[in-house]
A = this chain, B = another copy of it.
């Protein structure tokens, strides 16, 4: 017998989930799943936990709501698994998650993922193009758009629709990130009653950045997002930029900046910000584990008294080269720090198949070598790079930092800033780019820097600790569930 809600203690998030879903499952679609597959020598499929910030964040959802997660089949092994629902169910026996794959031929996925989503949309939205030369959007790119990206989004819609029980009234569907801008429209056509939301995890730049792109692409993306009931972004600025984009590119849309809503073709889409966060308890648990504490002691033993730490995927938006150059400026200007300071850089390998990333990695190493050549004493490096994916070690680094440097050129949110704030044990300073999404929430507790400003960044490397405990990952999820529930109840509209 189930107890009546008021008789047991439930968390605000659980209450939000219950209110939105009732007896339904939440259907969530994102490019990466909680599990991916590889094929062993004998042909059997082996599941492996997914990694990456979005997966980590979305995996929290399954602790609070029954979930069907539709992901891309990204490899041949995934495509094989997609044909065997039993293998999928078997892969995650211990969780409240049902995994399903949207599966398209490899060439379609390549066009969607390796021509459009990552090299084009991700770079554009991070404003990282060297515009006089790249991108060239010609026939092959437009083919990848139509036959890759559009096709993959349709496949996602079809996979989602398969998972919607026919008798479910108003199925609740959440779509995620820049891979899936066009998935809502075909879902909406088939199920006009769906409660649909999309959340963009990366920045949404100003409309003038989108303006360089072919009209078909920018218009279809904006129109695609407007098939949702809610279009969510990391910050108010990104949400505002989206409203401006819609106004610029879709003449038949009516944009209301006051209510942050768009009316188009008889439908209203709310445009909202839901700053994403971390699982504070889990982060602190890992940082406080015996292994992490031992690693922290080892790092302390190998470093000097003052420690600067950064943790990033090794990629151009993270602004790692200028971070080192600013540290070099610090060494130049404060000779007293030279013998007493170590910079520990925990850099996670990322998209090493992309030439820009490899070139960038080489220049990062060159910058570290240059500083070590100038300032190393008695053979002890002043800049130490840890180039590996070791989350516990990176958290260990954050616990012992006097300064945590988070200086991206642009970043949708940046969870390292939030992790640093909850695990640091040394009253460390958080030096944070004003251009990171996290800055909007954390401005009061950090030292702000402008990303190209070496002197300002050097100067900011000096004591503080912020508190993000109450705006954590459940807060991010709960606010979205509540907005969707109100829509479902007909109470919240533009």
Q: Which residues of A contact B (CB under 8 A)?
A: 127-128, 130-133, 135-139, 142, 205-206, 208, 211-215, 218, 237, 316-317, 319, 321-322, 325, 329, 332, 360, 363, 409-410, 434-435, 450-456
Contacts and interface: CB of A to CB of B under 8 A. Distances in A.
B316 A132 contact: yes
B139 A452 contact: no
Contact of A137 (B135, B211, B452): B452
Given A132-B317, A213-B452, 20 more contacts: A127-B131, A128-B131, A128-B132, A130-B130, A132-B319, A136-B452, A137-B454, A137-B455, A138-B325, A138-B455, A139-B329, A142-B455, A205-B208, A208-B410, A208-B435, A212-B451, A213-B450, A213-B453, A215-B453, A218-B450
B212 A409 contact: yes
A322 B131 CA distance: 11
A316 B206 CA distance: 21
Given A128-B132, A132-B319, A363-B133, A452 B214 contact: yes
Given A329-B139, A452-B137, A132 B409 contact: yes
A368 B460 CA distance: 49
A136 B456 CA distance: 12
Contacts of A363: 133
Contacts of A329: 138-139
Nearest to A322: B136
A211 B455 contact: no
Contacts of A131: 127-128, 316, 409, 452
A211 B450 contact: yes
A178 B420 CA distance: 40
B139 A214 contact: no
A332 B410 CA distance: 38
A454 B133 CA distance: 13
Contacts of A136: 322, 325, 452, 454
Of listed A130, A132, A319, A456, residue having the most chain B CB within 10 A = A132
The copy count of this chain in the complex is 2
Nearest to A135: B452
Contacts of A332: 139
Given A214-B452, A455-B138, A321 B132 contact: yes
Nearest to A138: B454
A435 B194 CA distance: 38
Considering the complex of A and B, which 4 residue pairs feature the smallest CB-CB distances, nearest first? A132-B316, A130-B130, A214-B453, A138-B454
Contacts of A360: 132
A239 to B, nearest CB: 14
A325 B410 CA distance: 30
A137 B455 CA distance: 8
A317 B451 CA distance: 23
Nearest to A203: B208
Nearest to A409: B131
A141 to B, nearest CB: 8
A120 to B, nearest CB: 10
A142 B206 CA distance: 28
A214 B452 CA distance: 7
Contact of A214 (B212, B213, B450): B450
A267 B50 CA distance: 58
A80 B78 CA distance: 76
Of listed A317, A332, A360, A450, residue having the most chain B CB within 10 A = A450
A432 to B, nearest CB: 13
